[in-house]
């Protein structure tokens, strides 16, 4: 397909779309500490969904990723009810990394998903950042379903 010579100019009253939020290593710049990036639940979550959805159709199926998201939600509910127990729950929350590694070994998910999960769990350092992590994954799952459709 030939590239168009048309270059859109931003509308004077509209903000330009944020540039890709990636670090030099190619990983998305995901931060859950304040102040939150305005694109965290929009552009960044969408880019993450696009990257994970690029896997072969036998990996990263929506139902498989939903299992990880559901467990994350379960832990977030526990933390929300008892934020003072966050440090006690954190080892079990981060055990999701081991479960993702196991799923990768069984060829159910790919390295992109495992790395994204690990990156977001690394950013989880308090009850507040864990709530933000859960919201990021909620946005991710919405965009992922849009990218992958029914698989």
Structure tokens at 78: 């526990």
Look at residue 126 and tell me whether its pLDDT is greater than 80. yes
Whole-number pLDDT of residue 22: 52
Tell me the pLDDT band of 43, cut-offs 50, 70 and 90: very high
Whole-number pLDDT of residue 149: 82
Please give the full DSSP string across 92-127, using - where no structure is assigned.
HHHTHHHHHHHHHHTTSS-HHHHHHHHHHHHT--SH
Residues facing residue 22 across a β-bridge: 28
Q: Which range is least confidently modeled, 57-61, 76-80, 131-135, 146-150? A: 146-150
Tell me the pLDDT band of 150, cut-offs 50, 70 and 90: confident
Tell me the H-state helices in 9-150: 45-53, 62-81, 86-94, 96-105, 111-122, 127-148
pTM attached to this predicted model = 0.82
Instruction: List pLDDT tens digits, range 3-35.
Output: 433 333 333 343 333 344 554 335 788 999 999
Structure tokens at 74: 């379960």
Q: What is the CB-side half-sphere exposure of residue 141 using CA atoms within 13 A?
A: 18
Whole-number pLDDT of residue 28: 84
Whose tokens are 């081991």? That residue is 98
Instruction: List pLDDT tens digits, range 104-123.
Output: 999 999 999 999 999 999 99
């Amino acid at each position: 397909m030939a590239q168009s010579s048309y270059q859109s100019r931003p509308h004077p009253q509209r903000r330009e779309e944020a540039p890709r939020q990636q670090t030099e290593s190619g990983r998305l710049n995901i931060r859950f500490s304040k102040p939150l990036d305005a694109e965290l639940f929009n552009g960044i979550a969408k880019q993450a969904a696009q990257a994970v959805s690029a896997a072969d159709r036998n990996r990263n199926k929506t139902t498989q990723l939903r299992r990880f998201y559901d467990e994350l939600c379960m832990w977030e509910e526990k933390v929300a009810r008892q934020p003072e127990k966050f440090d006690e729950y954190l080892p079990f929350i981060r055990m999701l990394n081991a479960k993702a590694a196991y799923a990768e070994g069984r060829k159910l998910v790919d390295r992109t998903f495992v790395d994204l999960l690990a990156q977001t769990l690394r950013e989880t350092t308090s009850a507040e950042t864990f709530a933000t992590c859960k919201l990021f994954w909620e946005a991710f799952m919405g965009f992922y379903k849009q990218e992958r459709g029914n698989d």
